[in-house]
Copies of this chain bind each other. A is one copy, B any other.
Amino acid sequence: MKAKKEKIIFRSDCPISSALDLFGDKWSLLIIRDLVYFGERTFKDFSGAAEKISSARLSDRLCKLEVLELIIKSNHPTNKKVYLYTLTPKGMDLFPAIAEYVKWSNKYLNDHIAEPAKEFAQNLEKDREGTLNQFMKR
């Protein structure tokens, strides 16, 4: 729980740099991504993602995101040693930004991107509002 003690230092009063100060690392948005897609996840679930985050880093990021109130950690209904992580509305509101990354990568890194993501990107191009709402309202 080292991460909980730290305070965030904002480099400026720019909204972009401030956002980056909060979650502008290589892992935070991937945790948000998994939660947008799956709704809820355990520590082990996150560890199983293709990008292979280390447990030390995952632990640190989950703490930080919880402190920022982007995610919530709660008990599993039946299993006492498993925790469930879910998104807050504040965390879910990062989804539009993530969606723009998907669109950009689909346009410029297309031949490197997995098929299901390409389809999602195409849906975003066709009907941005509808595609976003489909996830946001869940």
A-side residues, CB < 8 A to B, are 10-21, 24-26, 29-30, 33, 49-52, 90, 93-94, 96-109, 112-114, 117, 121
Tell me which residues across on chain B come within 8 A of A11, comparing CB atoms.
Answer: 50-52
Which residue from chain B places its CB closest to the CB of A94 in the assembled complex? Answer: B104
| A134 to B137 alpha-carbon distance, docked (Å) | 30
Number of chain copies forming the complex: 2
Which residue from chain B places its CB closest to the CB of A12 in the assembled complex? Answer: B50
Tell me which residues across on chain B come within 8 A of A94, comparing CB atoms.
Answer: 104
Q: Which of A16, A19, A108 has the most CB of B within 10 A?
A: A16
Cross-chain contact A16 with B101 (CB below 8 angstroms):
yes
- 26 A–B contacts from the bound complex (CB under 8 Å): A11-B50, A12-B50, A13-B50, A13-B112, A14-B33, A14-B50, A14-B113, A15-B101, A15-B117, A15-B121, A16-B33, A17-B30, A18-B105, A18-B112, A19-B105, A20-B26, A20-B29, A21-B26, A24-B24, A24-B25, A90-B108, A94-B104, A96-B103, A96-B104, A97-B100, A97-B104
